[in-house]
Amino acid sequence: MPAIGSNRQRFCIRYILYLQAKYQIDFVINTSINPATMTKFIKKDQIISSWYEIDATNAVVGRLATVISKIIRGKNKSTYTPHMDHGDFVVVKNIEQAKFTGKKFQDKIYYRHTGHPGGIKETTPEKLHEKKPGETLKLAVKRMLPSGVLGRKQLTKLKIYAGSDHPHSAQNPQVIELGKLNSKNLARN
């Protein structure tokens, strides 16, 4: 049945009534919105965020980014709501030991534009890693999130640290072991 209140729905109802009159057949027409069949969306006061900790030692950057983006968006929960910030916080430690597969560490190129004519800038993960070790992972996760206000809000739930210490131990984050999720998540030497 077409959307309620649309011209197509009115036509369908008239056609069904015509068929009922012509063939003496009884059809059941449901034109109301039944709350029992509607999708349940979570409310703002029902949102509970938890914390996760991931060790990036020997982790492949792209595979690590997909795991992180699913947690940040809230897709790991059964109450996933696309238009709300329903995700959890993720703390990534030992980011300086994350790896790229193949020759991407030297050959991959990141482009950005200054906004001025002829202002395109490019850099490689190798150069970016020297200046800011966690920026390659942050860029990968950012490109997996929606572009807009919601994506920028969700990206603030990603905390990246070089070394094994971080200031979020008071939140008691649950440890996620990437190697147990999939053996391909860790780079082979």
The 10s digit of each residue's pLDDT in 37-60 is 677 788 889 899 999 999 999 999
pLDDT digits (tens, 9 = 90+) for 168-188: 999 999 999 999 999 999 998
Average pLDDT over residues 82-87: 91
Q: Are residues 162 and 74 in the same domain?
A: yes
Q: Are residues 88 and 176 in the same domain?
A: yes
pLDDT digits (tens, 9 = 90+) for 99-118: 999 999 999 999 999 999 99
Higher pLDDT, 9 or 94: 94
Q: Are residues 65 and 84 in the same domain?
A: yes
Q: Are residues 120 and 159 in the same domain?
A: yes
Higher pLDDT, 145 or 14: 145
Q: What's the pLDDT at 1?
A: 55
Q: Are residues 101 and 172 in the same domain?
A: yes
Q: Are residues 21 and 100 in the same domain?
A: no
Average pLDDT over residues 11-15: 79
Q: What's the pLDDT at 79?
A: 87
Q: Are residues 33 and 51 in the same domain?
A: no
Question: What residue spans of the chain are helical by DSSP H?
Answer: 7-23, 61-73, 104-107, 125-131, 135-142, 149-155, 178-181
Q: Are residues 29 and 91 in the same domain?
A: no
In angstroms, rounded to a whole number, what is the distance separating the alpha carbons of residues 56 and 134?
10
Tokens of 28: 């059941």
Print the domain residue range for 27: 7-37
Number of domains in the chain: 2
User: Do the Cβ atoms of 107 and 116 come closer than 8 Å?
Assistant: no
Q: Are residues 26 and 96 in the same domain?
A: no
Q: Which of 110, 101, 112 is nearest to 188 (CA)?
A: 101
Q: What is the CATH number of the domain that holds 172?
A: 3.90.1180.10
